[in-house]
Amino acid sequence: MATTTMTQSKSTPGDGKHLDLHGNSFELPTFTMKEIHDAIPAWCFKPSILRSMAYVVRDFFYYSLLVYAAVTYIPLLPNAYLRFAAWSAYGFAAGCVFTGIWILAHECGHGAFSKNKMLNYTMGLIMHSFLLVPFHSWRLSHSQHHKATGNMDRDTAFVPHKRQDWLETHFGSKAKENMVEFAELAEDSPIAALWHDVIHQLFGWPGYLLFNLTGQKYDGAKGAKISHFYFGEDSVFYKKNELPLIMLSDLGVAAMIGALYMAGQMFGSFNVLVLWGVPWLWVNNWIVAITFLQHTDGSMPHYDNSTWNFARGATATIDRDLGFLDTHLFHDIIGTHVCHHLISTIPFYNAGEASKHIKKVMGVHYKADLETPFWTAFFKNQRTCKFVEETEGQEGSGVYMFRNLFNRDGETQPQNLAKLDKTEKRDVSEGLKASTATATATAMSMASARHQDARRRLSQSTQLSGKLPILTEA
């Protein structure tokens, strides 16, 4: 369970309180943005061009140093295994530096790099194009995310499914809230979850840019109009007067692709792959993981339009700890994200100080998990935070919390889920242990089939014979 600054009290459904996934009571924040602003020292709002540019120079120097060391010393290692290990270490280290460069461009997009808009746009375009990110395209859509964080109807990134939508996505359009079997339990196998996570981490970021994965549905819009690279007037993201900036962003990415092609011709495709391509894949991994964990946690609320306001949405995020990687290479984006969402124009090197002051205003509403290891939290939340729904007895409140269908002890159960007594739970557990090979094969089959044909599910007879719980009839 997330370690937070909140004073948590266990409650049960139907007692008139909002419950998070872990059974803790949640109360709506009531502080105002004026209180937040007034609490922060004025100097925290002021970026320094010299300091911001120094970080850019530092990060590109780190990358140059890594490249020099790799091409000079790795070929001298005496055997292939050592060279592979060294190239792997290089890819990881360079990927962390690339992620820092991505975050500096992110600062430019928010105007936190400097007070000079032209400098922000120029440096952001250079750094994001270097990483094949369309700077203005992402900047504009990302600003919408910040304006509507935690809003189920208007947020643009990592928008969770409501239960019925999640069921239909995974089990087909005929699935009913109150009749879907507990089939997802089989898919909770670590092997299936790990496979999903690998695909998610490698391709989730380009998938978001190209196909708006995890974004809003936009009334079912498909094709080019949901791509961040599209500059047509029917784009779901951009206004007509913004389209020239989208074209400029595409040109920046195209120029970088051309530079990579030329480098491949001059130095060899393999060298470009290991020196730039592998670190780029690490960027994909880090950006998806960081963003996912900033906005996905069992204690995290989401709201509909009737209940949402900016202050509530901006604090529907959580700070975490990744040690040296975050504080030195990732520019503290993980440890000060709550502050960043409240006031995104504060430069990252002042966000730590600002966070100390906003915590005093936020009180129990400030969320942080500084104890759970980063990747442990990632794997846990991928497996448990499946969809959101209102707490039983709070229907119509507009406050949604994460739920799943796994019927685990200590977790708040979704509405209308049939309960198992301890004997039935033991029977299910023993049955699953007795057929580990079959269960694993079923899980892998389901993971593969879910995207090919969502209507393929475990049969009712299989569910009943396995004594798996079902959702009760309304």
Which range, of 66-75, 94-103, 197-206, 227-236, averages the lowest pLDDT? Answer: 197-206
pLDDT above 70: percentage of residues in the chain: 80
- Which pLDDT value is given to residue 374? 95
- Which pLDDT value is given to residue 11? 60
- Exposure letters 406-429 (e unless 16+ CB within 10 A, then b): bbeeebbbbbebeebeeeebeebe
- Which pLDDT value is given to residue 458? 37
* Token pair in block for residue 2: 């997330």
HEC per residue, the chain: CCCCCCCCCECCCCCCCEECCCCEEECCCCCCHHHHHHHCCHHHHCCCHHHHHHHHHHHHHHHHHHHHHHHHHHHHCCCHHHHHHHHHHHHHHHHHHHHHHHHHHHHHHHCCCCCCHHHHHHHHHHHHHHCCCCHHHHHHHHHHHHHCCCECCCCCCCCCCEHHHHHHHHHCCCCCCCCCECHHHHHHCHHHHHHHHHHHHHHHHHHHHHHCCCCCCHHHCCHHHHCCCCCCCCCCCCCHHHHHHHHHHHHHHHHHHHHHHHHHHHHCHHHHHHHHHHHHHHHHHHHHHHHHHHHCCCCCEEECCCCCCHHHHHCCCCEECCHHHHHHHCCCCCCCHHHHHHCCCCCHHHHHHHHHHHHHHHHHHCCEECCCCHHHHHHHHHHHCCEEECCCCCCCCCEEEEECCCCCCCCCCCCCECCCCHHHHHHHHHHHHHCHHHHHHHHHHHHHHCCCCCCCCCCHHHHHHCCCCEECCC
Please say if the pLDDT value at position 74 is more than 60. Answer: yes
- Which pLDDT value is given to residue 196? 72
Please say if the pLDDT value at position 453 is more than 50. Answer: no
Q: For the residues 361-390, what does the mean pLDDT come to?
A: 93
- Which pLDDT value is given to residue 287? 93
- Which pLDDT value is given to residue 176? 63
Q: For the residues 14-36, what does the mean pLDDT come to?
A: 89
Please say if the pLDDT value at position 418 is more than 90. Answer: no
The whole-angstrom separation of Cα 338 and Cα 272 is 37
pLDDT band at 202 (very low <50, low <70, confident <90, very high): confident
Computed over every residue of the chain, the mean pLDDT equals 84
Please say if the pLDDT value at position 432 is more than 50. Answer: no
Q: What is the pLDDT of residues 113-158, one digit of tens each?
A: 999 999 999 999 999 999 999 999 999 999 999 999 999 999 988 8
Q: What is the pLDDT of residues 299-352, one digit of tens each?
A: 999 999 999 999 999 999 999 999 999 999 999 999 999 999 999 999 999 999
The whole-angstrom separation of Cα 293 and Cα 368 is 11
The whole-angstrom separation of Cα 245 and Cα 15 is 52
- Which pLDDT value is given to residue 293? 94
The whole-angstrom separation of Cα 108 and Cα 104 is 7
- Which pLDDT value is given to residue 208? 85
Q: For the residues 219-228, what does the mean pLDDT come to?
A: 82
Which range, of 104-108, 253-257, 366-370, 426-430, averages the lowest pLDDT? Answer: 426-430
Q: Which amino acid is at 20?
A: D
- Which pLDDT value is given to residue 457? 40
Q: What is the pLDDT of residues 259-291, one digit of tens each?
A: 999 999 999 999 999 999 999 999 999 999 999
- Which pLDDT value is given to residue 205? 81
Do 443 and 187 contact (CB within 8 A), yes or no? Answer: yes
Please say if the pLDDT value at position 472 is more than 50. Answer: no
Q: For the residues 360-375, what does the mean pLDDT come to?
A: 94
